[in-house]
Structures are given as structure tokens and as C-alpha cells.
Structure 1
């Protein structure tokens, strides 16, 4: 299928990271699905302080006057989500006339190359470095060295260990616990009563646990909704594993009224499992949907088999917050936006909010991007 996966290794315990390194980081990362995407490696923050993906700030007052070179370091480039994110960077920086050059690197899943790419960008004179920390703490020494060399480093989409101001400027991530609360509120208002199941990613994945903690806490306000599983259901963020897991849930529980997932791909797999079992699809609640899931939902509605659906999106825009923080740090201007970000509702069947569907673009396309239509179309034509 497509490779819009997510990494949780950046937030993994130190002992686990050391074991991964000992086994060979690259192979271990691939084996357990530790790929970043969709901006879903999140941290907790107060909702009142969060930045919102559908309320983007204005970079113009932050641009300053010093000429600058901006680097973008990607650990696993190539899929549509990543290409869209790079286009978002270029679009955001187009408002700063003092940007002299944008340098892009793709480590293709190799942590050693990722660190080498950072060192190379420092040697090429970048002033601001925007990066996806796909390999977690393994990248901290290179990041710290870049900061010491005067480069303003801003990791985004994955929470990473380290010290702000020493290892990076700020870490731009999604507020996973608050997202879980938003899910619970939607379920309380629209499903109202019944059984809920949460499907996460790889075993022990920190972001999945954060999402589930937020959901569990939010559901305390709704005593008629019962969370059936104490631990999140493992899917490895893989459609095959997710569909098998959903089939197991169908066999285990006679009544499931809602399935919550932390990735659109697993949400689609769960819906398909119910359809293949000739059962009505329960309410589907998720984050980071894509073109395939949204087209599937709209097709089901047209066929008269629509399921209640709620998704939070806009994750390709997380990088814009990172760009503004990096530019402000280098130029000495002030960006008051919180590095904790909340995605916005992209589809809400209860409110008649339909997602976009375009059969002419890739199945993993994220149409919630902040790019102008012509620039988003150009991404899909690459």
C-alpha cells in the first residue's frame, strides 16, 4: 500500500532506544514500523495554549532582514505526505524575500545518512534547519552540534528527547491527549452510549498510549460510553494487521458502537473488516485521514451504508509552525505561537462536514493541506 507511517521511537524509553541501536537502528526501525508521518508523534499541553492548524500565523512580520538559507532534513522522504510537507515549507518561505536558498535532504531510512545530512547542511551554511527527527535520540548529537554552530534547529511532528535552547529551538508536535479528549466529546455528543474500542500502533508506542489516555480521561464525562480495552489494540499502523485486529475484535465483542484509531489507514482497515463480515460499520473516529479513506466514506454514504465519521486533519501544516519558529529564532523576531498543535475537524458526519475526495490523486494524498490548489496539484504530479 502506501507508506504514510508514524514513528514513536523519538519518544521511546532510553533503554529501548539503546537496544534498537545495538541491533542496527535502520533495520529495527523498519521492522517495527518506526516511520514518522502525519505529525502524530505528540505531546500533552493545555488546549487553551495550543496552536490550531486551521488558524495559521503570518510569517511576514517574522521574516526580518538578514539573508538566510533554510535546510529541510527528512528521514524517510518520498511519500505524498512528505512531498506535501516540503511544498508547505516552500510556500511558507515564499513570503520572506530574504530567503536565498532552500536545501532539501532525504536520508531514505538511514540514520547515519540523516546525521550526515545535518552536518552537510551546516557546512553549506544553512541558518535554519527544519527536520523530521525520524530516528529520535540518535540524531541529538548532530542537532546539538548544529545549534552550537549557530543554526536554528526545529524538529517537528515527532517528540524528541533533548533540551530546548541547547539541542533545538522548540519541538513542534501535536497535542495527543487533547486530541483524545476531542474524540471523547464527539462520541459523547453523537454516539451517546455503547462500547468503544481504541486501536493504536506498535506495541508500547508512546503516542498511541497518549492518545488512549486522553480518550479514556475524556470518556469519564460520558458514563454511558464504555471503553472495552484497557490497552490499545496493536495494529503496527499497518492495514493488513489492522484488519486482522478488527476481525478479532468482532469475534471477541458482540457489540461495538465506535472504533477510534490514531491513523486513517487503520480506520479504513477497521471499516473494511466490518463490511467483509456483513456488519454495519460502527462510528469511525480518527486522525490523519487520507484520500482513500475519505472517498470510501463518501462512497458508502452514496450507497446508503454510511457510518458516523469524525476525523481531525491538517497535519501537513505542522511544518509551517516549525518554519515560523525557526525563522523567528534566526532573525531575532518573536513568534508567540505554541509549539503544541491541534489539528482541525476535516470530516464530521454529525455536522454535515464532508471531506474532500479526488479519485485522480494518490490514495495517500492529504487534501487538508494549506497549499493553494495549484501548488497541491503540482505535488501530486511529481
Structure 2
């Protein structure tokens, strides 16, 4: 480990900052202060002078600052180690990371790997980056705690490692710099509450997630489950499916197959919460193909998800949608924190981002945004410009 990074992480630990052990279960969205309890991460920072990068700071997207504060002067290699790169969300996040890294003139190389949902490949990808002399690694750690030994080895080798979204457990500030995510638990809680409200507080609810076992969908599921427990008139069909989220692989095609199977199995589904709006379009198609009325549906934002509501809202009166930001932009503060750690600089940007519903078909002030001149896969909250989105998907 480099002396500079060792001193930084030691300072974070010695400062007494409380770490987010197992932060995947605590990071998530907030709909409002009165809909969910404050997560522990919101008060888990110390304020000593030595604590250059305090862990677990909560805040808003507007708290992100310019990358120039963290670039430093030394030549740096950075890498994005993706656990799975096979959908538009991942492609968008990669593009955001690479565009942000390109703003630092001293970043000499930007590497990318796709583990293709294979934990062993994810381990090999991280080890390969370390062997190639990558100084800062940002990673969607889909493999969760199985990646911790490899992450610790990278940290001990002097790499500033920053997981995003699917926090791998362990001790932020010790095992890695910090994990950057939205407040995942209350993301599931907030969207489930909205959906249950549209259901009139009763009926069958399903939560759709990503690949089996991933910590991000697990945290969203736990938030949704908490909302269901407060509404005894709702039947959470996931409890009959192993008490976990439904595995859609975060792919529209697989989502369509899975939802078709759920309709066959249960007959009636009155509401859906999903952690991927782009994949949800496949589930919507399954309802249409089955001739079943579309239910209230909440997810994160996607251009086609919004456009489909406009297409069917007049013929499907029970069909309402709500979204929170797809927050691809978390790769930006993650890169900032990695650069700050490697360069021994202070960084007080949030690592837990409180989100809110940004589209709500029942609210005249938050109508879904459909951009017909943009590709279906475009994510309007991503932070990429219209031109960048067109170039990415065309």
C-alpha cells in the first residue's frame, strides 16, 4: 500500500468515524423524511481534521463538486470494473465514468472490464487491473461479500477502491475508500409505498430485481417488504417465491419471460415495484401479450418506460407509473473519492444520496418525460447530454 493511501485510511479509521458495515442493506432512496426512518449512515461521520474522506455522508446530487479538485498532478491510471455490462444502464454508467475521467489531464489510461455476472471473472478482472498498475478502481460489485478478500488485497496494494450501488459489506474506510450509492432501503420503501397507495392498500404486489443474490436488489427488496408489513391488506407474492426479489437479470427479454410466468402462476398482479425501469418494459409487454390490465408500476427512470405510459394510459385506466432517478451519476463522486484517496486530498461529497420520486403520472407537476427523438434506452436523469445519449445508443 502506498504511504499516502495508508495514512489516509488510517486517519479515517482513527478518527472514530462509524463505518457502514454491510452498507448494501442500508444505502437507498428517501421519498420523504416522514415515510422512512433515517438510515444509520446519515450520522456516521466524524469531523476531525485528519479525517480527509469521512465515510457514510448523506446528501444530494447537488453536493457533487468539480473533479478538478481531486485530479492531482501525478500520472494516474483509473479503471471501472463492472460486475455485469449487459444492459443500457451499465453502458450509460460506463460512459459517464469515462467522460468524467477524461476531464483530468493527468489520467493517462482508463480501463474497463465486464465480469458478465460471473463472480470469479470479477475477481480476476480486479486482480488484472491491480497487476496493470491501475491506481483507482471504481466497481459495481455485483458479487457482494465474495469480492471482499480481493478488494482488501487491492487496497493493501495501494489501490484506491470505491464500490458503487451494490456495497460489498466489510468496513468502508478500511477495506476500501467508501461505497457510493443511493439510500437503497428507502428507495424500495418509497416506491413500494407509492405503488401500494395506487393499489388502494390491498391486492397482490411483486418486486422485480436483478440477478439472484445481488446485494443491491436485496436491499431494495427489504425496503419494499417493510412497506408491505405496514399495509396488511397487501399480499407480497415474493413471500411465496422464496422471500426474495424476482430475478429478471436486469434484461428486458428475461423480464418479459419471468413476468409472463408470474401471471400464469398467480393470475392477478395488482402492483409492481422494480429496481430497473429499462428492464420493466419487457414486463409491460408480458401484461399486454396476456391481455391483462396493466397495474401501477414503479421503478427508476427510463425513456421507454415513460413513453409506454403515454401510449397506454388512455386504454389502461389502472396503469400509473412513478420513478426515482436511475442515478448512473454515482460513478462521478465515486471516481472523485478514489482520486482524492490516491492523492491524499480531502473529499466531503456524499456517498449516500437521498433521492425522491421525480416522475409520477398522478402528479401534474411530475408527469413522465418521454423524448421521442431519443433512443428507448436513454436515461434522462443520467447526467449525459442529449447528444451524448444519442451517440451512446445510435
- TM score, norm. by length of structure 1: 0.73
**1:33 matched residue in structure 2:** none
Cα-to-partner distance string for 1:25-55 (whole Å, 9 max, x where unaligned): xxxxxxxxxxxxxxxx943144583756643
**1:159 matched residue in structure 2:** 167
Deviation at 1:161, TM superposition (A): 3.6
Q: 1:281 aligns with which of 281, 286, 294?
A: 294
Answer whether contact 1:197 1:258 (CA < 8 A) is retained. yes
How do 1:172-211 and structure 2 match up within 5 A?
A: 172-187=180-195, 190-201=198-209, 207-211=216-220
Deviation at 1:113, TM superposition (A): 5.2
Separation in 2, partners of 1:207, 1:193: 26
Answer whether contact 1:200 1:232 (CA < 8 A) is retained. no
Q: Cα gap change, 1:69/1:192 in structure 2, threshold over 3 Å: closer, same or farther?
A: same
Cα-to-partner distance string for 1:309-351 (whole Å, 9 max, x where unaligned): 1122233112112112212212323222342334443421121
Answer whether contact 1:292 1:364 (CA < 8 A) is retained. yes
Q: How many residues align?
A: 335
Q: Cα gap change, 1:52/1:268 in structure 2, threshold over 3 Å: closer, same or farther?
A: farther
Asked if 1:371 corresponds to 2:384, the answer is yes
**2:306 matched residue in structure 1:** 294
Separation in 2, partners of 1:147, 1:361: 40
Q: Cα gap change, 1:196/1:320 in structure 2, threshold over 3 Å: closer, same or farther?
A: farther
**1:214 matched residue in structure 2:** 223
- TM score, norm. by length of structure 2: 0.71
Cα-to-partner distance string for 1:65-102 (whole Å, 9 max, x where unaligned): 332332222343364322321221233335544x3323
Answer whether contact 2:309 2:319 (CA < 8 A) is retained. yes
Secondary structure at 1:350's aligned position in 2? coil
Separation in 2, partners of 1:331, 1:233: 40
**2:337 matched residue in structure 1:** 325
**1:43 matched residue in structure 2:** 25
Q: Please list every run of 5 or more consecutive structure 2 residues that lacks an aligned counterpart in the other structure.
A: 1-22, 28-37, 43-56
Q: 1:91 aligns with which of 99, 105, 110?
A: 99
Separation in 2, partners of 1:145, 1:42: 21
Answer whether contact 2:293 2:316 (CA < 8 A) is retained. no
**1:336 matched residue in structure 2:** 348
Separation in 2, partners of 1:187, 1:92: 35
Q: Please list every run of 5 or more consecutive structure 1 residues that lacks an aligned counterpart in the other structure.
A: 1-40
Separation in 1, partners of 2:213, 2:86: 27
Separation in 1, partners of 2:272, 2:348: 36
Answer whether contact 1:242 1:269 (CA < 8 A) is retained. no
Asked if 1:242 corresponds to 2:258, the answer is yes
Q: Cα gap change, 1:358/1:53 in structure 2, threshold over 3 Å: closer, same or farther?
A: farther
Asked if 1:103 corresponds to 2:110, the answer is yes
Q: Cα gap change, 1:227/1:53 in structure 2, threshold over 3 Å: closer, same or farther?
A: farther
**2:82 matched residue in structure 1:** 74
Answer whether contact 1:81 1:316 (CA < 8 A) is retained. yes
Asked if 1:145 corresponds to 2:153, the answer is yes
Answer whether contact 2:77 2:108 (CA < 8 A) is retained. yes
